[in-house]
Structure 1
């Protein structure tokens, strides 16, 4: 095993159902806080990575409404 093969996070074992629910709730709240904090950067990245719509190749109006 190489050093980079080790897990980043060691998950606790044998948690009670209530502890699992609390842990998951905490992680959801942490993710929500991170998304709010970095919202501007996430939106900027999404905008930069969004594919641009290709220009229509045909001026034929029948292409706009497919038969299905």
Structure 2
């Protein structure tokens, strides 16, 4: 196996794909926030809506898994 994973091209590729994944995740979150009838961040942070926070957390995990599978 060796240190093949330590090559600069491999590290740079991993960083680029990670950045693409974060951007896709962020765009998906913003789209879902715009589709809902209320402001998610306001509802979770200011009104302490734990049920909505759990739903958003599950949505984030789902999007993250899909992005990771697509990049892999």
Question: Taking structure 2 as the reference length, what is the TM-score of the superposition?
Answer: 0.41
Larger radius of gyration: 1
Structure having the higher helix fraction is 2
